[in-house]
Amino acid sequence: MATHLILASNNRAKLAELERLLAPLGIAVQSQAELGIAEADEPHASFLENALAKARHAAAASGLPAIADDSGLCVAVLGGAPGVGSAHYAALEAPAGVDRETRRALQDAANNRRLLEALRGTRDRRASFVSTLVALRHAGDPEPLVAVGRWPGEILDAPRGDGGFGYDPLVWIAALGRSVAELGAAQKNALSHRALAARDMLALMREHWRP
């Protein structure tokens, strides 16, 4: 069993989520940024292809097992958009000199505005958060572990809640009567698309990566 994984992402929120979700296996997760590894290109049309490319990049650069998540919001009436382009759905001209986290917050707000505009006057608001996790023992691993989680909801007419990140304020979970941004961290981690994918990944690691 791997005891140390490189996360092929520089997203601090994603790192924190995966650290908690993989804790039952005693696996330490370290961001590739801590090793000075640049983010990989994500030129592909599917979450699976992009996650695999990112995991291979991180494993090759670090010489360690790696895990990558490619995730996003898929809106039914938009044919799955924003999809793999969720993080940069809207064009953004951020002020010069802003730090990474501020830029990310500005991008999230711009993405949400664009999505609301795209759905203006649309009654079909069905959407799903989708997460695809890929784990590799090494860059040339011929048997990557793949887990997919889907968390269905509906797009609100306006943001609600201050928690989470990305599209969380716009995604309404009817069964809970709240937006994702109104959920506590523990509840979100138990129910989210990434949590569902992580549970499947835990089972796959136990089965295929056991000592």
C-alpha span between 113 and 121 (Å, rounded):
14
> Smallest Cα–Cα separation from 194: which of 3, 2, 19?
19
Q: Which of 69, 70, 108, 168 is catalytic?
A: 70
Phi, psi of 46 (to 5 degrees): -125, 155
Where are any strands of DSSP class E within the chain?
A: 4-7, 28-31, 66-75, 126-136, 145-155, 171-173, 178-179
168 is catalytic: no
Q: Active-site residue numbers?
A: 70
